[in-house]
Structure 1
């Protein structure tokens, strides 16, 4: 007899529902590939010359495209380009160095160089036979150096072998020995660390590593990325927007084909009977594949709850599930409060601003025929820096999508934005009828986009959002001893307890949090706490062998990997 908790154990298709591409094994990744609507153009930019910045919110497919470009090159019989895929997801691990001494930028740059050199060994393992030469240090030496940097135990002299000229030299030697024309450096989760100084140092590194034969490509985020003063988007790197616009039949095919590949081996094939229901879920994911896969996973985990006896998705359950994509984006937005504590007031005001925009759009649609319902809003230019920063945070979270700008004659220029379709559905912003049908929502979402939309300016937005005093004040780090906020940026001692004030480390703050903050089930959190001494995010991250996690009942290899990835996502 199956034990009650066995339903949570790893099942055969569990690996198909690992949403993050970087956690999929190569064979599984290639098996589950779905073509991005703009893939041909994007892949050409990634495999060719020139510096590029892949821009889009979390979960929109940046990692998938970088890995596709990498595997496409290494699969060639004759490789003319050296591809190097580097994941900087855990860059925040070295952020505490910025609070311990004056040489943090030096150490961080060495950490970046070592990561690049280590990744060359991965390319050598994945590609056909390749001559390496003597300039590339061994993998073991590089791994030891990386560990020492992350632990803060290396000296400046020890890191001299990992300078810019050494990296250029190792790459150039491989290019020459193998008669290759260029190197494409594919940097995933770049500028991911929520430390402005660390991000600025990364973009200085980006500019310096670029050469005639080395073309850096980096995946970055809108709204939270801080470029260095000497780095200029457009001049130093071309911007490539990879967020799929949630419009039209091509979009529906892209998302549903992805679901077929992940869900195709299950006994419940409802794709023919529930095409409209799946299309609505695709639109409610708002162009973010990770959100859509999360919905499909929910169906796979509880088939009997979602699928009727006619093997069709139930309307009520589909409408409930359509909220999941927006909930994921709202959780990402809320998490910025802890990752960017200085902008806590911006995050709190941003939630009110977002709800105000939804209310304005709902009022605009009230009484209009379905084909005339608006999905966008327009912000009058110029937008104040505070509102622009807040909209950037909403873009990073996947709640607001820029849609270009338009001139309205004497009324001025407006920047257009789409708002998360999941919220439009859940908050009755479109359709608005008591009895909602899947077809009525699709009529609006599939409709021809018209030129009418509510117009908003800074003053009206702040007024309708009912923001309090100092809605965009920057918060200063609190005292580490008593938690009292410091009175000024120049204060050296706490005004309450007298303790010496230190600059706060974002990384230390995040890894010290209880595992309750992670997006795993409450049952799993309870099981971990009851059957191990794991209590904080740090406890999970230091369990590199996963022995402690896998020693817990019903946590196998795949589930342990997912818990680890949740912890890594939390600090990235």
Structure 2
């Protein structure tokens, strides 16, 4: 119905603030990201982690002339495949220094020959040549998916030299600190990458360097040397559908991008908007996606979309994780079955019984014992990553004072099971209660099928096979590209994910006829962002 930005990467930096909507919790996160303490920001896919980091970067530039914010995207981590045991650490280091050098050049700050020599282990004292060397190393790493590569990293500096160089650059240019914003911190199915990331995150700490990073819930491996409680400030993006400002907040987000026709239609039928907003369960991207896909702003279209999206599409994305990463397929498939065949029917039955008894109380919640089998916990963690469920308490007392975790199933997944979702939504929402909900003890019968599962992590050979399979997929699997974009790409001979990845921006501009350079660049950025998110899980 309308074209909407679904990703931060697709938005120009100068447009970020204009599309920004922040509430008190967001302001708290932004202040933490702008503070002198390192910060980790946790949130499921599409909740706005990258956007808040971008807003923080821009505000630092506007407000503090003695600070230098540097945004570093690690979304190409899925392509790294070399014979270097510390491949990810070295790639991150090269990419981080390259981003710093690029930002220094753009801001017109000088880099002395001494600082340049510290940033290069080959004793180069020219900042331009250092940047070119780093660019070359980064490119070789990011092309290594084509075949296991040997990369000479001898020119990369020692981490202590990097810190000394940054201190020198700050003193030379009257800067007090450099802020690094690390987006897509590491590949969620490659734990070793994540451990190396947190080693770098901790190694970089100095009076002149502040590190911030976006991470996912449930699937982050910190390693033995990193302690969340001691080494950073930890923030979560939590947008509870029961918050008093929830509807206004999400209305503002949608109205920042929707055209006047859609705005007026939702103003005239606010309850339809409210239903879609509640269904999204606090996820801006899901709400924007459903608004974009809505054929008309009327009850029939809203009901159809809710059923199609929350009964089908959202589950298909979760199942696709198992198809991409075979080492996790059993756990992923079991988790979906557990939710669809056990948890949700139990919640439905619970709600029906309460309704029959005349108790005005409904639930979208369930509780799992803290001592349930580890594979159950892993399956729930992966469901949290994809955003189908949300962990809203890890030490909640249930019946007989047992301790466990309370989860929330996405509102839309429960509401979509109704024959007329919109007609039921208002009363269902108003009767929601967290006081009572179905409970699954430590030996619940539904766990029988998962007890024997091993918690296999994806090894390099499995990962390489998975990556090869994904690169061969048609571009049709990139769900957030518009049909128009896909047709233009196909018309230019770009049929698979690998075709798209191998095309440079210049190639794309030349290949797509009737599309100017600016639009081609936006298409390339949007397509690359979607491609890299697809590869990362």
User: For the superposition of Structure 1 and Structure 2, which TM-score range results when normalised by the shorter chain?
Assistant: 0.7 to 0.9
1:118 aligns with 2:98: yes
Residue 195 of structure 1: how far off its partner (Å): 1.4
Contact 1:110–1:162 at 8 Å: present in 2 too? no
Question: In 1, distance between residues paired with 2:52 and 2:484?
Answer: 32
User: What is the aligned-residue RMSD (CA, Å)?
Assistant: 3.0
* 2:511 is aligned with 1:551: yes
Partner of 2:428: 444
C-alpha offsets along residues 255-282 of structure 1, whole Å, 9 cap, x if unaligned? 1101111014457622321211111111
Question: Which of residues 53, 57, 60 in structure 2 aligns to 1:70?
Answer: 57
SS at match of 1:519: coil
Deviations 1:515-567 (A, max 9, x none): 34321679669846863443321111111226358735677524444333321
What residue ranges of structure 1 are gaps of 5+ in the alignment?
1-6, 8-12, 300-304, 307-312, 429-433, 478-488, 490-500
Stretch moving more, 243-252 or 544-553: 544-553
Instruction: Name the residue aligned to 1:30.
Output: 17
Using the size of structure 2 for normalisation, the TM-score is 0.85
SS in 1 for 2:264: coil
Give secondary structure in 2 for the equivalent of 1:263: coil
Distance verdict in 2 for CA 1:513–1:162, change over 3 Å: farther
Q: What pairs up with 1:6-25 in 2 under 5 angstroms? A: 14=3, 17-25=4-12
Matched, 1:148 2:140: yes
**Residue pairs, 1:354-503, within 5 angstroms:** 354-355=339-340, 356-369=342-355, 371-404=360-393, 405-408=395-398, 410-428=400-418, 437-438=422-423, 440-447=424-431, 449-460=433-444, 462=446, 468=449, 472-473=453-454
CA contact (8 A) 2:74 2:184 kept: yes
Pairing partner for 2:213 from 211, 215, 218: 218
CA offset digits 1:503-526 (Å, max 9, x no partner): 651433432333343216796698
Indicate whether 1:46 and 2:33 are aligned.
yes
Deviation of 1:141 after TM superposition, in Å, equals 3.6
> Could you report, residue by residue, the CA deviation over 1:368-403 in whole angstroms, capped at 9, with x for unpaired residues?
247301121111222321111111000000011111
**Per-residue Cα deviation, 1:87-123 (whole angstroms, up to 9, x for no partner):** 11111121x21xxx2x231x32221112112222453
Q: Distance in 2 between matches of 1:122 and 1:24?
A: 20
**What is the number of equivalent residue pairs in this alignment?**
508
**In 2 relative to 1, CA 328–213 (structure 1 residues): closer, same or farther, beyond 3 Å?**
farther
Q: Which stretch of structure 1 is more off in the superposition, 274-283 or 510-519?
A: 510-519
Q: Which SS does the other structure have where 1:176 is aligned?
A: helix
**Map 1:292-311 → 2, pairs under 5 A:** 292-299=287-294, 305-306=295-296
Please say if residues 383 and 389 of structure 2, whose CA atoms lie closer than 8 Å, have aligned partners that are also in contact: yes
Shift of 1:86: 0.8
Distance apart, 1:174 and its partner CA: 2.6
1:570 aligns with 2:534: yes
Distance 1:371 1:534, change over 3 A: same
Greater CA drift, 369-378 or 340-349: 369-378
Instruction: For structure 2, list consecutive stretches of 5 or more residues without a partner in the other structure.
Output: 117-126
Structure 1 equivalent of residue 317 of structure 2 = 332
Distance in 2, Cα, partners of 1:18 & 1:526: 16
Tell me how far apart the structure 2 counterparts of residues 57 and 561 of structure 1 sit (CA, whole Å): 22
Moved over 6 A (4+): none
Aligned with residue 257 of structure 1, among 252, 258, 273: 252
Q: Does 1:353 align with 2:345?
A: no
Write out per-residue CA displacement over residues 313-362 of structure 1, whole angstroms, 9 at most, x where no aligned residue. 21121122234664554243223214432111001111111111101100
Provide TM-score, normalisation by structure 1: 0.81
Distance 1:521 1:62 in 2: 21
The structure with the greater share of residues assigned to helix is 2
Structure 2 equivalent of residue 133 of structure 1:
112
